[in-house]
């Protein structure tokens, strides 16, 4: 390439702008110090107006603000120094850039006056060699500029990371409620989320898509708002704005807890068409791969066949979403969540949340025998008063992960999914507060439901179906009625109620205080198979375990009808 001014990289930051930023940061620290001193001066007057035994103790406690403010001020001064050093180093590299610009300009001027003799082949070779050397040197100089800027940025980042975290001197001597610290904010997070939502809704929501494309980080902030706050805001929007947001930013609205149920389904239906196009492209690509006129091994062809079968299942599912025969309530493939809704929320009096357990993936929702069968059964056959959800808020444990250190024996999956399930529950209740709620939790799903209660994911009733139960220290919610069912030889009975730290669940489902045991209607161990060997017995235990997610009345009719009766009683009692 011929050296050109357009090829010289630009500095990634303005040194003067960085210096202004550093000064603003230090000024903020100084303001904190001054404000703290003013607070302490005012607080010092307390004993004169508040005479009580605790007045002196309160006054002494507030004095701890001063060293805390000093820690903040010192840290921000160090941050300014690091940022100003970055500005100085960027300027030094910029001076080299200016010299390179001048060099290219001079070289271009000289070349413009050079008229080589076409017949001078040797001279042409020398000129070509010299030009090649200039081009190589130019590339090295450009790379050196980038390296210089990168080195300066890395040094600044290291200096900022070296600033000690604020130790918050106050916490050394004042009692702190850990539960309060862990609880989500009911104001700051809401204010941040709602201000961004309001920004998206401005001008009727016309700019929502472009704003979110320009600021994709807004989505994470918005999702930190409480579902109750989102529901109140969403209900206040004019219908036209709702429609614009649903169609304009469907990925955000389709996964935002607190949005009206039907609007979330509409948003995710809008996303299905684009996803179908991508799936069909992938299928065509897989077909071409299988048709390549080269020698292919059986494993290669087997892999292509499996890929095509998986794509066909997913294509069929999203075609059903696209034509409205399936209702997708939440779908975030990047995170691993998928929630399908059954029934009509406009006529529903009760909501059923079905949480499948181990081995659940998105593929579990596809095909001829989907995991949604249990929920679907509860909304069909004249059961229009129930809206049901099959819930996977994120990755669930897989049996094939056991050899690599994963699997359902670890209780950490339950803790990871708990806040998400709690937000889902709160979102449905906030969107339709009149719904009576029942959570049907199968297998590992019971661990998720138990952990979610601590995050506000409480329902009117929980039904633990062959559930793992809860971790040590669990206490049932006084506002919830509990039911449990599992086969006499269910596989979970072998390890229920056993826990060692992150392994297992210490509270078995049938040992929860006040729980009502429901007959599963499933057979127990077959003595004949016991005589034939343990593998046959274990196979039956697993089969009876999985049966409690079946929608086949011949297999799981007792529990299907028991859950339906609970829903009916709740509706009749309201």
Q: Which residue in this structure is represented by tokens 């000690």?
A: 164
In angstroms, the Cα distances linking 308 to 274, 277, 304, 315 are: 19, 15, 6, 10
Contact 388/376 with Cβ under 8 angstroms? Answer: yes
Phi, psi dihedral angles at 434 (to 5 degrees): -85, 0
DSSP string, 475-513: ---TT-EEEEE--TT-GGGGTTTEEETTEEESB-GGGST
- The pLDDT, as a whole number, for residue 399 is 92
User: Among candidates 106, 140, 111, 130, which has minimal Cα distance to 7?
Assistant: 140
192: Cβ–Cβ under 8 A, 6 or more apart, which residues?
221, 224, 225
- The pLDDT, as a whole number, for residue 33 is 63
3-state secondary structure of 442: strand
- The pLDDT, as a whole number, for residue 319 is 97
Below-70 pLDDT ranges, the chain: 1-2, 29-68, 109-124, 126, 165-188, 290-302, 382, 384, 526-537, 571-574
- The pLDDT, as a whole number, for residue 293 is 53
Exposed e or buried b per residue across 88-124, where buried means at least 16 C-beta atoms within 10 angstroms of its C-beta = ebbeebbeebeebeeebeeeeeeeeeeeeeeeeeeee
- The pLDDT, as a whole number, for residue 188 is 58
User: Among candidates 329, 467, 348, which has minimal Cα distance to 389?
Assistant: 329
Strand spans (E) along 308-385 = 327-332, 337-342, 350-355
- The pLDDT, as a whole number, for residue 185 is 44
Q: Which residue in this structure is represented by tokens 């903020």?
A: 28
| 156 vs 89: CA distance, rounded Å | 10
385: Cβ–Cβ under 8 A, 6 or more apart, which residues?
347, 348, 349, 350, 567, 571
- The pLDDT, as a whole number, for residue 169 is 45
Condensed to tens digits (0 to 9), the pLDDT of residues 156-183 reads: 888 888 887 655 444 444 444 455 445 4
| 384 vs 281: CA distance, rounded Å | 38
| 373 vs 552: CA distance, rounded Å | 9
User: Among candidates 431, 423, 428, which has minimal Cα distance to 232?
Assistant: 431
| 496 vs 519: CA distance, rounded Å | 18
Contact 531/487 with Cβ under 8 angstroms? Answer: no
Condensed to tens digits (0 to 9), the pLDDT of residues 98-152 reads: 888 888 887 776 665 555 555 666 666 767 777 777 888 888 888 888 888 888 8
């Amino acid at each position: 390439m011929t050296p050109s001014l357009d090829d010289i990289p630009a500095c990634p930051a303005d040194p003067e702008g960085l210096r202004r930023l550093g000064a603003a940061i230090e000024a903020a620290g100084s303001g904190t110090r001054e404000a703290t001193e003013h607070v302490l001066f005012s607080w010092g007057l307390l004993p004169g107006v508040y005479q009580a035994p605790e007045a002196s103790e309160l006054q002494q406690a507030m004095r701890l603000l001063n060293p805390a403010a000093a820690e903040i001020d010192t840290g921000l001064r160090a941050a300014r120094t690091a940022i100003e050093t970055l500005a100085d180093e960027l300027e030094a590299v910029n001076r080299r850039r200016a010299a390179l610009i001048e060099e290219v300009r001079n070289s271009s001027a000289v070349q413009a006056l050079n008229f080589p003799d076409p017949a001078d082949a040797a001279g042409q070779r020398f000129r070509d060699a010299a030009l090649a050397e200039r081009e190589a040197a130019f590339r090295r100089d450009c790379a050196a500029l980038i390296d210089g800027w990168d080195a300066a940025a890395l040094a600044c980042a290291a200096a900022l990371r070296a600033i000690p975290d604020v130790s918050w001197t106050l916490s050394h001597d004042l009692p702190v409620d850990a539960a309060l610290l862990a609880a989500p904010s009911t104001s700051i997070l809401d204010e941040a989320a709602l201000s961004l939502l309001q920004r998206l809704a401005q001008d009727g929501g016309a700019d929502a898509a472009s704003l979110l494309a320009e600021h994709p980080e807004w989505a994470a902030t918005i999702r930190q708002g409480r579902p109750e706050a989102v529901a109140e805001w969403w209900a206040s929007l004019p219908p036209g704005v709702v429609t614009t947001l649903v169609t304009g930013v469907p990925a955000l609205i389709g996964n935002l807890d607190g949005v009206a149920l039907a609007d979330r389904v509409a948003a995710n239906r809008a996303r299905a068409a684009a996803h179908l196009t991508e799936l069909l492209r992938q299928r065509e690509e897989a077909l071409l791969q299988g048709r390549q006129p080269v020698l292919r091994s059986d494993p290669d062809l087997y892999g292509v066949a499996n890929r095509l079968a998986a794509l066909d299942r997913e294509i069929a599912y999203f075609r059903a979403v696209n034509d409205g025969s399936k209702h997708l309530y939440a779908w975030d493939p990047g995170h691993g969540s998928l929630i399908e809704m059954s029934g009509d929320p406009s006529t529903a009096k009760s909501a059923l949340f079905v949480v499948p357990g181990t081995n659940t993936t998105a593929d579990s929702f596809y095909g001829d025998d989907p995991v949604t069968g249990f929920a679907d059964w509860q909304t069909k056959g004249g059961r229009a008063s129930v809206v049901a959800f099959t819930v996977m808020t994120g990755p669930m444990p897989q049996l094939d992960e056991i050899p690599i250190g994963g699997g359902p024996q670890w209780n950490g999956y339950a803790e990871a999914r708990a806040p998400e399930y709690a937000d889902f529950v709160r979102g449905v209740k906030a969107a339709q507060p009149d719904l009576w709620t029942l959570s049907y939790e199968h297998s590992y799903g019971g661990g998720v439901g138990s952990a979610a209660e601590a995050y506000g994911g409480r329902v009117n009733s929980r039904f633990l179906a062959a559930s793992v139960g809860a971790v040590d220290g669990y206490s049932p919610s006084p506002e919830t009625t509990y039911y449990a069912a599992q086969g006499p030889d269910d596989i979970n009975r072998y390890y229920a109620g056993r826990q060692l730290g992150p392994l297992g669940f210490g509270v078995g489902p049938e040992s929860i205080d006040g729980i009502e045991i429901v007959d599963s209607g499933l057979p127990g161990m077959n003595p004949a198979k016991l005589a034939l060997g343990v593998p046959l017995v274990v196979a039956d235990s697993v089969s009876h375990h999985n049966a409690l997610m079946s929608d086949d009345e011949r297999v799981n009719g007792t529990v299907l009808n028991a859950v339906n009766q609970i829903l009916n009683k709740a509706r009749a009692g309201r």
